[in-house]
Structure 1
Amino acid sequence: MNPLVIAATMARRGMLAPNLPHRLVGQLTSLATWGMSLVGEVRQAALGAPQRIAVIDQARGATTYAELFDRGMRAAVALRSQGVEPGHRIGLMARNHVGAVEVMVGASALGVDLVLVNTGLAGEQLGLVLAQQEIDLLVHDEEFAAIVDVLVDGPKTLSESAFAAAVDALPVGTSVDRPEPAGRTIILTSGTTGVPKGAARRTPKGVGALVSMIDRIPLHVGDRILIAAPIFHTWGYAALQLSFGMSATVILRRRFDPRDVVEVLEGERVQAMFAVPVMLQRMIEQLPADPGGTVRRPSLRVVATSGSAYPSGFTTRFMDEYGDVLYNLYGSTEASWICIATPSDLRRHPDTAGTPPLGTVVRLLDADGAEVPDGETGRIFCGNEMVFEGYTSGGSKEFIDGMVSTGDMGHRADGLYFIDGRDDDMVISGGENVYPSEVEGLLVAHPAVREVSVVGVPDPDFGQRLAAFIALEPGAELSADDVRDLVRSQRARHCVPREVVFLDELPRNTTGKILTRELKARFA
């Protein structure tokens, strides 16, 4: 990345603002020593603005950067007292709160691998993940004690209160030396089609990754940022890294509630919010629209989302009420970010994935690895400095010329990228190819439809057939024949779903992704 571009972006976002000489020297020395790891970011922020609020927690209130760095260092020593050393692997099963952040910073400071465990896992699946990831110690919130305690032959466990007590017992100023090599953060894949896999997340070597994001998403130093996305998720963890890199004030809530979020946005003077798309959908569904059509959040400058696709047209609906503040990132656990759609992109084409940010290369390739022309669908490959190092199980994704396969199909038009569906979601019915997303986009535009998922299911005559699962708006009526007639009137015959199932709501995981495996299981 061009050094002049890096410098210009950092200046534009307030990262090169003057500071006291000793603090500036301390920040630069810290970054040179600790790098852009989580503990490195917190340490440089603590040196540059020690009394700035780092985290506002629903239960514990405000924690300054100086306090967060100190407690992170003590957390590292507390982990070591449990027999954890560099090279070991710990798990964290926690919601969004400052205690979870302290564990993350402590793991980063100690140089151990940190596995962020999905809070929606339970029973056999949780046991499989803990075993597959070879976790030596699991730190968990109190609410998961009953789930964790029944595990057979599981790792050593420690509740959040026990861990906090161990940190509290250590004297202020307790510290550890910089680890060599640094530990890794392991993000679990969504597991929508099977057992989640662990993807090792690289630690950025410089500020390039940070600059890549803030060049497109206008965060500023010292912003007040609400992270509603789960911090065990790729997007929530990325939001934490971006926030600490910008010495921002992070606001956390353990659980997402639409009304609570609106109160926080107004009461805490929030400038930026990180969320997953289904959260914005719930906000719009459950809260009345602003009758005057004016922006209700004058301080809100950025709403950054990622994790799943929006229903067709929703982005425009959201911005009509909240203003042109929506930035939607298309990414994956393996490739990190791929494209970002800005408000102006979404106004032009509400369903676009946007364009690649600085330092990211995207290619659309055919089955032979050749690029496809604009307008044609191809396999999406991506390259940047945050591409994963492989699954912890030893497997990987397909790579071509250093670029990783996203597993998605897409096309480029009008200078923007669009996602057409998963490459393994394409349904071949009677010899005809159809992507379910094409049918979903048509159905979700119907005023009676709240949400929809279309999948391919086995068929003895045609190989596969389409099944549409639909949740209706409260009080709305729609029949299976209505659905088929709608698709038949606007799409080819092979796009018409032969099965139409109405549900109260579609099954989702904790990050809002629809669990298609549960839907397909109905026709297994």
Structure 2
Amino acid sequence: MPASRSEVAGPKGTRTRVLRILMRSGILVPARPDRNVRQLTSLGRWGATVAGGYRAAAARSPRRIAVIDERREVTFRDLHRRAVRLANGLEQLGAGPGTRVAVLCRNHAWFVETVLACAELGADVMLLNTGLSVRATAEVLRTHSPAVVAAADEFAEHVAAARIAAPLVVAWPDAAGGSGGGRSAGPGGNRSSGPARPARSDRSAGPAAHRIAAAGTVEDVIATASSRKRRPPEVPGRLIVLTSGTTGAPKGAYRSNPPGLAAAAALLSRIPLRSCESVLVATPMFHMWGLAALQIGMPLRNTLILQRRFEPKAALQAIADHRCAVVFGVPVVLQRILELPPGLRDAYDTSSLRVVATSGAPIPSPVVTAFMDVFGEVLYNFYGSTEVSWAAVADPADLRIAPTTAGRPPLDSRLKVLDELGAIVPRGVTGRIFVWNDMLFAGYTSGDTKEYRAGYMATNDRGHLDSSGRLFVHGRDADMIVCAGERLFPREVEDLLAALPEVREAAVVGVPDGDLGQRFAAYVVVRPGAELTAAQVRGLVARHLPGSAVPRDVVFVDALPRNATGKVVVRDLPPSLAGA
């Protein structure tokens, strides 16, 4: 393809190249012949589903720890056995092929076991955002009519508000009792010496809450379920991931099951993950990037270190304790770690880190450089979405040259930048980003889908390609404003503000303007003890960008409203001076 056109493709996924990547990562390496046979047999029968991946991992490395959370650790063998029993138990509660099971909990082993059990059943598993309001969660549950809901105790009110008939299975009781299923578990996986936590016929979620039919905890269901072996479902269950909903209502999106190990090879072609390493998942697994850590962890047989909430010191402690080689996170994770006093930060041994892979939001360019200055050339920035899966990955070399780049397409992926009429724009010209790969989503649960052009799916983002084929994302279509006829994106202004030593974080959004059509409003969080005025903010922007990009409204706030994946929730920002 001509180098002057804004289209670029990743390397072609030939059989030889895919095998080389899988061998280099340790997915395909010799082992005991019986384990190799069981591993390949599991993949052959169950495919590259979550169930197939973890069955294969259990066959290959049965005693290796698969998951460590705040209460327990589980081997691959016990994870598989428990998932089978949980699948049998969920089936008795009404779940099965073609039904939906809603999961509303944070990162922990019960989350993983429930997702695996749904894959064993052939049920669609709907991953709910823990950051949604009670009302929004209830609306999603009513719209999707799950057969069973698996939720943590803390979200009982959310489930109750939906007033649906589906039984509730508690997947993280407030009390630690009944939290067995760890390394020393027997065939049923329950290591508790006492009786299982008794099932409850109903739960109350506040004075006005609807009564919920509850089937007890995940442990209750596993303890009383059959260990009957399961056959692969005729039609594999699907994963339903909610879009972020930062500017509108979240939508359920069907994620396709990977067509095979070539999908893993695509990610591994740009991010050098290896088998049998410890991975800290510092992003919610209901989000596409956290889910990617779970999915790629299957063939790699990684140990996933799960924490229900991100806290920078706890994350560094986990890296040191478990010798984590990889962290999956979001950009705000990097910011919060860098904000720790250097002496405190350096007290943790992070020398095991090889890869810190982030996604979900743009990384301020000062954060990119500062993070690599502290932790070395370990940073990888993944650009994708719930709908297109992956589009590009920036490696440390890319980020050193161009800290704001989204990188290049991975194996067997292609992208184009098009104008409003669908024509490919020249390199350096901003346009609409379209992506092609084997993992494009299968549509929204509403029946709607995304825009396609010649097989390429719209990302709803705008950006450009540079002369080297690196992608730069300027922002979403919804972020762009037209000020006095000029199209502007907030990213450049946000990067300028992030570089100020007085600024902890900043967000820039478009607001209506009676004369200009639209203009920028800046929301700024000042570091403790620092001083900054609106005039200084405007002056900085005026020195570097056109006058139309200077925010007339500068609002100082204590914190930016963020969702569970670290994205700024625009609708929760206070009114600007213009909108007040």
TM-score range, shorter chain: over 0.9
3-state DSSP of counterpart to 1:476:
coil
| Corresponding residue for residue 170 of structure 1 | 225
Distance in 1 of aligned mates of 2:561 and 2:141? 24
- Structure 2 match to 1:52: 64
* CA–CA separation in structure 2 for the residues paired with 1:150 and 1:490: 50
Show the 5 A alignment for 1:115-514. Answer: 115-153=126-164, 155-160=166-171, 161=173, 162-170=217-225, 173-288=227-342, 296-413=349-466, 414-514=468-568
Residues 131 and 154 in structure 1, CA contact (< 8 A), matched pair in contact too:
no
Q: Which moved more, 1:504-513 or 1:249-258?
A: 249-258
- The answer (yes or no) to whether the contact 1:187–1:233 under 8 Å persists in 2 is yes
Query: Which residue is 1:8 aligned to?
Result: 20
TM-superposed CA distance for 1:412, in Å, is 1.1
The SS at the match of 2:53 is: helix
Match of 2:54 in 1: 42
1:111-134 residue CA offsets vs partner (Å, 9 max, x unmatched): 001000001122211111112223
How many Å apart are 1:135 and its aligned residue?
2.0
CA distance in 1, matches of 2:138, 2:369: 42
User: Which residue identity lines up with residue 361 of structure 1 in the other structure?
Assistant: R
Q: CA 1:422/1:12 → structure 2, altered by over 3 Å: closer, same or farther? A: same
What's the counterpart of residue 188 of structure 2?
none
Q: Which amino acid aligns with 1:467?
A: A
Q: Deviations over 1:265-316 (max 9, x none)?
A: 1111111111111111111112426899x99522111111111111122111
Once the two structures are superposed, residues 380-431 of structure 1 have per-residue CA deviations (whole angstroms, 9 ceiling, x without a partner) of 0011111001111111111111111001111111331111111222111222
Measured in 2, the distance between the counterparts of 1:449 and 1:360 equals 37
| Worse-superposed segment, 263-272 or 121-130 | 121-130
C-alpha distance in structure 1 between counterparts of 2:546 and 2:74, whole Å? 58
Structure 2 gaps, min length 5: 1-12, 174-216
**Distance in 2 between residues matched to 1:511 and 1:139, nearest whole Å:** 21
1:521: Cα distance to partner?
Answer: 5.4
C-alpha separation between the residues in 2 aligned to 1:450 and 1:30?
Answer: 49
Offset at residue 49 of structure 1 (A): 1.2
| Alignment deviations for residues 125-158 of structure 1 (CA, whole Å, 9 cap, x no partner) | 1111112223222110111123322333464322
CA distance in 1, matches of 2:419, 2:165: 44
Secondary structure of the equivalent of 2:405?
coil
RMSD: 1.7
Q: Is the 8 A contact 1:277 1:512 kept in 2?
A: yes
Q: Secondary structure, in 3 states, of the residue corresponding to 1:508?
A: coil
* TM value normalised by structure 2: 0.87
Conservation of the 8 A alpha-carbon contact between 2:519 and 2:549 = no
Deviations 1:206-254 (A, max 9, x none): 1111011112211111111111111111000110000112111111111
Q: Residues of 1 paired with 2:138 and 2:28: CA distance?
A: 47
AA aligned opposite 1:380: I
Residue 166 and residue 8 in structure 1: after superposition, are their counterparts in 2 closer, same or farther (change >3 A)?
same
The DSSP-based 3-state class of the residue aligned with 1:150 is helix
Shift of 1:461: 2.2
Letter in 2 for 1:486: L
Q: Distance in 2 between matches of 1:295 and 1:151?
A: 44
SS at match of 2:406: coil
Give the AA of the match of 1:47.
A
Q: CA deviation at 1:99?
A: 0.8
Task: Say whether the 8 Å CA contact 1:54–1:248 is kept in structure 2.
Answer: yes
Larger mean Cα displacement after TM superposition, 418-427 or 105-114: 418-427
> C-alpha separation between the residues in 1 aligned to 2:232 and 2:532?
61
Bigger RCO of structures 1 and 2 (CA < 8 A, at least 6 apart): 2
What secondary structure does 2:446 align onto?
A: coil
Q: What SS does structure 1 have at the residue aligned with 2:249?
A: coil
TM-score in terms of structure 1 length: 0.96
Aligned-residue sequence identity (percent) comes to: 45
TM superposition shift of 1:326: 0.8
One-letter amino acid matched to 1:373: P
**CA contact under 8 A between 2:521 and 2:554: conserved in structure 1?**
yes
Query: Residue type matched to 2:392 in 1?
Result: C
How far the C-alpha of 1:89 sits from its partner, in A, is 0.7
From the superposition, tell whether residues 289 and 412 of structure 1 become closer, same or farther in structure 2 (CA, over 3 Å). farther
> What's the CA shift for 1:480?
1.0
Contact 2:131 2:563 in 1 (8 A): yes
Kept in 1, the 8 Å contact 2:27–2:299? The answer is no
Over 3 Å counting, the alpha-carbon distance change for 1:256 and 1:36 in structure 2 is: same
Q: Which amino acid aligns with 1:195?
A: A
Q: Equivalent residue for 1:90?
A: 101
Task: Please give the alpha-carbon distance, in whole angstroms, between the structure 2 residues aligned to 1:103 and 1:187.
Answer: 15
**Partner secondary structure for residue 17 of structure 2:** helix
Q: 2:195 aligns to what?
A: none
Give the Å deviation of 1:462: 2.0
d(CA) in 1 for partners of 2:495, 2:338: 19
